[in-house]
Amino acid sequence: MKLASLKSGRDGRLVVVSHDLTRYCAADNIAPTLQAALDDWENCAPRLEALYTDVEHQAVPCERFHEREAASPLPRAYQWADGSAYINHVELVRKARGAEVPESFYSDPLMYQGGSDAFLAPREPIPLADENWGCDFEGEICVITDDVPQGVSSADAAGHIKLVMICNDVSLRKLIPGELAKGFGFLQSKPPTAFSPVAVTPDELGEAWADARLHLPLHIDYNGEPFGRTHAGEDATFSLADLVAHAAKTRPLGAGTIIGSGTVSNKDEDGSPGRPVADGGRGYSCIAEIRMIETIRDGEAKTRFMRKGDTVKIEVPGEDGKSVFGSIEQEVA
Amino acid sequence: MKLASLKSGRDGRLVVVSHDLTRYCAADNIAPTLQAALDDWENCAPRLEALYTDVEHQAVPCERFHEREAASPLPRAYQWADGSAYINHVELVRKARGAEVPESFYSDPLMYQGGSDAFLAPREPIPLADENWGCDFEGEICVITDDVPQGVSSADAAGHIKLVMICNDVSLRKLIPGELAKGFGFLQSKPPTAFSPVAVTPDELGEAWADARLHLPLHIDYNGEPFGRTHAGEDATFSLADLVAHAAKTRPLGAGTIIGSGTVSNKDEDGSPGRPVADGGRGYSCIAEIRMIETIRDGEAKTRFMRKGDTVKIEVPGEDGKSVFGSIEQEVA
């Protein structure tokens, strides 16, 4: 099934959305908010699934679904932790500054605890107080869990993944080196994230969800031009289940925890870091990567970070070419 | 006024507690949970204050308040970010490993984003799956804010501090070096935090709340013996308002955000790092500090980290000697 939260108050109003994202039916008689549904998922999920079947069969009255009316599926959450499943991204960052990738990064994922008190809606402008902060987008796959016990195995973690989304993990690149040097992780360098209009259950994804990885392309357009045409199912060193298990190593995770894949990033067919879309490559899911390629290739980065008025669109086309999660479309304001 | 959340469901049940912590009156007719009250603080706070006046005047029927029945005031929260106001703690950590404290640490606070999806209750055991993780307590002062705008000044941030608490920021010391080296901050090394039974408004603290600092002692007993007798009003390089402003530099903070002071830590009267309570000093608010002192003094740490059965009690006595926030009392299980 597909779920969304229409903008309403701090936590939105839960609705069930049709597979083709054209219709919705209010679900707030089952649970007022998605968080409330996740808090009692075992009870709510079957009822939401039944409603979804009715929506698909047009057996209940539906309203027209407009992605622009959706908040992030969880407009705020109790936890958002973001990993680095695509080591190509990490390799690129390090290569650009002449550093090696420690061997441990291939078995022990990088993950940071993100701010989750207020997310941007999928069509909400990115507020940027200072263009010198180096505003960047990051296209990622993420999942929402139910209650996950401490010490869960990766195999068992897969069963705790209840919903899948995509996100734009907005980053302030120029603030990152200072914060990384302090060792305490990202705080000021990670302003609010935006998630896709719709969250989708793994079963709804069919064969595109396998090994707790999303086997679909991630399309990113920057200022209206194709910028990223990566494939989320390839080059993912860690699955989303691996990342959930990493987060739960020393503590349980509360229902509604969001875990992210990190920036989706593919190697080129010849094993080299990917080429830009304009050069026939798959491109990138963030500006930082093309800047790294430029730095490695030309000695300096020429693509600048986002300024006011720049736009980014992030979307996953299904095998039928139709948008699976709806699109994140944001302008820097 | 003083507020608490009696254990009930995931978010507790809001009650108003008498100044002396002996009585409570249910406040869930005003707001079902503390988070709900914070979401609408302007409207709820005056009504809670009125109820508090009635509780103090015994003008409403009250029940006996038992600290053991309290959850953390916010049993889960949308944000928990913890700073390092007491640079003596940072100096000690660095000194023990022969590193300097960068000059910037005195103007740019260290702060990490903590997990907030599930806190421990103030009397709840600390679950520890592996004693080799190096379990430690950290006694801290923390505050809860309402909605804080991005870019707030430190002066304005003070007005957004609505409640004050203390906490035990449980740390897994042996996991910290590996995570710090990765630069992405604490994730596995910071299992759930426990907060005091009661949260208190700044005005209720009278002169003990000045310059957005708590001017009261922090008492910590470890296995029944005095371990820390620090003073939270001294040696705080940053105020809680400074830390709120730091967190809000690039993003707004949602209502119910918890910001922590970091481990309370005092220098000795002669300017040296503090002595143990047993040696006539003020002692420490975490085991790591006494281990650093031992390392500096004797070449190696002899005090071990917490094992199953070890207990810690954290409390702030008011000027009348009575507990201000109630006590955190936890056993490692």
pLDDT in tens, B127-169: 999 999 999 999 999 999 999 999 999 999 999 999 999 999 9
The vertex-B191 CA angle with B189 and B193, nearest 5°, equals 125
**Helix pair B287-298, B87-96: axis angle to 10 deg:** 40
Test the A interface: residue of B43, B173, B251, B305 with most A CBs within 10 Å: B251
Of the candidates A11, A40, A65, which is a domain's last residue?
Answer: A65
Residue A278 covered by a domain: yes
Closest residue of chain A to B175, computed from CA coordinates: A250
Q: For residue B275, what is the DSSP state?
A: P
Q: In the 8-state DSSP scheme, what is residue A75?
A: S
Same domain assignment for residues B168 and B265 = yes
Q: Please spell the DSSP secondary structure of B186-238, one letter per residue.
A: -STT----EE-S-EE-GGGGGGGEETTEE-SEEEEEETTEEEEEEETTSS-SS
Nearest CB to B150; choose among A112, A127, A257: A127
| Alpha-carbon distances of A294 from A23, A297, A303, A306, B5, rounded to whole Å | 44, 5, 8, 17, 55
Nearest to B117 among A78, A150, A182 (CB): A78
Measured in angstroms, the CA of B4 and the nearest CA of chain A are apart by 20
Are B92 and B235 in contact, with CB atoms under 8 Å apart? no
Number of domains in chain A: 2
- Pick the residue from chain B with its C-alpha nearest to A183: B183
**pLDDT given for residue B319 in this prediction:** 92
Q: Give the closest of B111, B129, B254 to A184, CB-based.
A: B111
CA separation, residue B167 to residues A220, A313, B220, B314 (Å): 43, 42, 11, 8
pTM of the full structure:
0.97
User: What is the pairing mode between strands B171-172 and B135-136?
Assistant: antiparallel
Report how far residue B243's alpha carbon sits from residue B285's, in angstroms, rounded to the nearest whole number. 20
A190 burial level (CB within 10 Å; 0-12, 13-18, 19+): buried
CATH number at residue A198: 3.90.850.10
Shortest Cα distance, chain A CAs vs residue B269, angstroms: 29
Residue A48 sits in the same domain as residue A87: no
pLDDT (0 to 100) of residue B95: 77
Which of B129, B178, B184 is opposite residue A112, by nearest beta carbon?
A: B184
- Which residue is listed with tokens 């820097």? A332
Q: Please tell me whether residues B290 and B198 are part of one structural domain.
A: yes
Select from B65, B88, B109 the last residue of a domain: B65
Is the CA virtual torsion B257, B324, B75, B283 positive or negative?
positive
Residue A304 shares a structural domain with residue A184: yes
Residues in chain A: 333
pLDDT at B90: 86
Burial of B296 (0-12, 13-18, 19+ CB in 10 A): middle
Same domain, A230 and A96: yes
Q: In the structure encoding, which two tokens stand for residue B98, read together? A: 């022969």
pLDDT at A102: 86
The pLDDT-based confidence of B101 (bands split at 50, 70, 90) is confident
Provide the token pair at B247.
């967190």
Domain assignment present for B267: yes
Does some domain include residue A75? Answer: no
Domain residues for the domain of B201 are 80-332
Q: Measured between CA atoms, how close is B103 to chain A, in angstroms?
A: 12
A72 in a structural domain? no
Give the alpha-carbon dihedral of B126, B131, B134, B140, to 10 degrees. Answer: 10
The Cα B248–Cα A115 span in angstroms is 11
Percent of chain B with pLDDT over 70: 100
| Three-state secondary-structure class, residue A102 | coil
Measured between CA atoms, how close is A103 to chain B, in angstroms? 12
Provide, as residue numbers in chain A, all residues whose Cβ is less than 8 Å from the Cβ of B127: 150
pLDDT, residue B124, reads 98
pLDDT at A41: 98
Residues of chain A under the 50 pLDDT cut: none
- Residue A257 near residue B117 (C-beta atoms within 8 A): yes
pLDDT of B32: 97
Question: For tokens 């590996």, what's the residue?
Answer: B178
Boundary of a domain, candidates B21, B37, B65: B65
User: DSSP states of B106-127 as a string?
Assistant: GTS--EEEEP-S-PBPTT--B-
- Cross-chain residue pair B172–A250, CB shorter than 8 Å: yes
CB contact under 8 A, A112 and B113: yes
Tell me which chain B residues have a C-beta less than 8 angstroms from the C-beta of A74: none
Residues 6+ apart with CB under 8 A from A97: none
One domain for residues A182 and A51: no
B82 closest CA partner among A187, A180, A192: A187
Answer yes or no: do A46 and A174 share one domain. Answer: no
| pLDDT greater than 80 at residue B93 | no
Residue B50 covered by a domain = yes
**Pairing mode, if any, of strands B194-195 and A161-168?**
unpaired
The amino acid occupying position A26 is A
Minimal CA separation from B22 to chain A, in Å: 31
B15 and B101 share one domain: no
B114 and B15 together in one domain? no
Integer Cα distance of B147 and B35 in angstroms: 12
List residues bridging with B63 in a β-sheet: B24
By the 8 A CB rule, do A243 and A109 touch?
yes
Q: How many CB pairs under 8 A join A and B?
A: 122
In the three-class reduction of DSSP (H, G, I as helix; E, B as strand; rest coil), residue B7 is classed as coil
Does A305 share its domain with A206?
A: yes
Question: Do residues A42 and A174 share a domain?
Answer: no
Tell me whether residue A147 is in a domain: yes
Instruction: Flag if B78 and A81 touch (Cβ within 8 Å).
Output: no
Better pLDDT: A92 or B201: B201
| Residue at A146 is within a domain | yes
Q: Which run of H or E residues covers position A178?
A: helix A176-182
Residue A9: what residue type? G
Check residue A72 and give its pLDDT.
98
Q: Using 50, 70 and 90 to split pLDDT, how confident is the model at B181?
A: confident
Between the CA of residue A26 and those of A55, A65, A201, what are the distances in Å? 10, 11, 18
pLDDT value at position B19? Answer: 98
Strands B217-222 and B311-315: antiparallel
Residue A119 within a domain: yes
Whole-number mean pLDDT of chain B? Answer: 96
**Do B98 and B204 reside in the same domain of the chain?**
yes
- B77/A187 Cβ within 8 A: no
Structure tokens at B139: 């006694």
Alpha-carbon distance B115 to A79, whole Å?
6
- Neighbour-count burial of B32, counting CB atoms closer than 10 A to its CB (0-12 exposed, 13-18 middle, 19+ buried): middle
Summarised one tens digit per residue, pLDDT across range B252-289 is 999 999 999 999 999 988 888 889 999 999 999 999 99
Q: What is the mean pLDDT of residues B187-200?
A: 98
pLDDT at B183 over 90: no
